[in-house]
Structure 1
């Protein structure tokens, strides 16, 4: 059994630059809580989206187990659009209603999901039998979960917290269970 702990990043300070957006003061405090929640899980490996807020959310558990964080490009957040959207919630609803819909300069749900799932399969192959923390983002996390179980959709995404942690247990490439940590 391989366990993947998908960690939606903690609250961040909004900047238009996705890659370097840091955690807010509240986010840094909440990241400490993530570390506490994961300490008893027997974590072996830490991976993360290259986005700073995702890395900062899992730094504590990496330090606790004395492991470096492996950056996994496929775990970055989906690009909704390359231009500001007028109504974010409406835009999200649209792309979830039509998985092939692509907003200007963005990724469709299908494209982002394919990327995320490819990243998950690489991690499953490389770390078979391990407990792996993956620092990631809400939308790509739910798109990945949705690939394995259609119950995880836009309404589930709307209920996620910042941060949030879900353990996905796999046997080979088959999802066996999902548990909120």
Structure 2
């Protein structure tokens, strides 16, 4: 039985230090509308999201389109890089990707964040087998999940992601066998 997860990196957001409450920007709201239209033809059954506001706002239109509520799942929250803001974000993210068990003070290692994301993904595959599921999430955790199934999804891949970005992951018996990049302009 095939199960499809449309893993969606959130649209552009307004930066605030409040990770949980950071909203989409006006550009992000426009992008989320385009995304909703692009996914209309995909027959989405279920919409799940990280509890972060920007991820929920990105997929809310999809849920409304199919007359469903967005189901919140903490496992799809963005990886916590550090307890405090980091001066050189690029160098900090590079280090955790080069050393998967390394973590900055108060943050998650790639191994820890990936395990959390995979547990959430397996839960979704178990609960909604045979369905088409839209999952609103964040760039780093998205790539860590994809990397678990195929190591080609790495830091370089993360650097190439857009906001929003969508990958269609097709699973059979919890084994990933097809990945397709979707464009919101479609």
User: How high is the TM-score relative to the length of structure 1?
Assistant: 0.99
The corresponding residue for 1:121 is 122
- Secondary structure in structure 2 of the residue aligned to 1:169: strand
- Secondary structure in structure 2 of the residue aligned to 1:112: helix
In the TM superposition, what whole-angstrom CA distance separates every residue of 1:99-154 from its partner, at most 9, and x where no partner exists? Answer: 00110100000000000000000000000000000000000000000000000000
Cα separation, 2, equivalents of 1:172 and 1:86:
43
Cα separation, 2, equivalents of 1:147 and 1:157:
14
The corresponding residue for 1:74 is 75
Q: CA deviation at 1:36?
A: 1.0
Cα separation, 2, equivalents of 1:180 and 1:133:
14
- Secondary structure in structure 2 of the residue aligned to 1:161: coil
The corresponding residue for 1:24 is 25
The corresponding residue for 2:43 is 42
Cα separation, 1, equivalents of 2:137 and 2:168:
13
- Secondary structure in structure 2 of the residue aligned to 1:179: strand
Cα separation, 2, equivalents of 1:141 and 1:73:
13
The corresponding residue for 2:140 is 139
- Secondary structure in structure 1 of the residue aligned to 2:180: strand
- CA RMSD between the two structures: 0.4
Q: Does 1:177 align with 2:178?
A: yes
Size of the aligned set, in residue pairs, is 181
In the TM superposition, what whole-angstrom CA distance separates every residue of 1:10-41 from its partner, at most 9, and x where no partner exists? Answer: 01010111100000000000000110111000
Matches within 5 A, 1:146-165: 146-165=147-166
Q: CA deviation at 1:172?
A: 1.4
In the TM superposition, what whole-angstrom CA distance separates every residue of 1:37-90 from its partner, at most 9, and x where no partner exists? Answer: 110001000000000000000011111111111001100000000111110001
Provide structure 1 residue ranges, at least 5 long, that are not aligned to the other structure.
none
Cα separation, 1, equivalents of 2:22 and 2:123:
26
Runs of 4+ residues over 2 Å off in structure 1: none
Cα separation, 2, equivalents of 1:15 and 1:179:
32
- Secondary structure in structure 2 of the residue aligned to 1:104: coil
Matches within 5 A, 1:32-111: 32-111=33-112
The corresponding residue for 1:6 is 7
User: How high is the TM-score relative to the length of structure 2?
Assistant: 0.97
Provide structure 2 residue ranges, at least 5 long, that are not aligned to the other structure.
none
- Secondary structure in structure 1 of the residue aligned to 2:170: strand
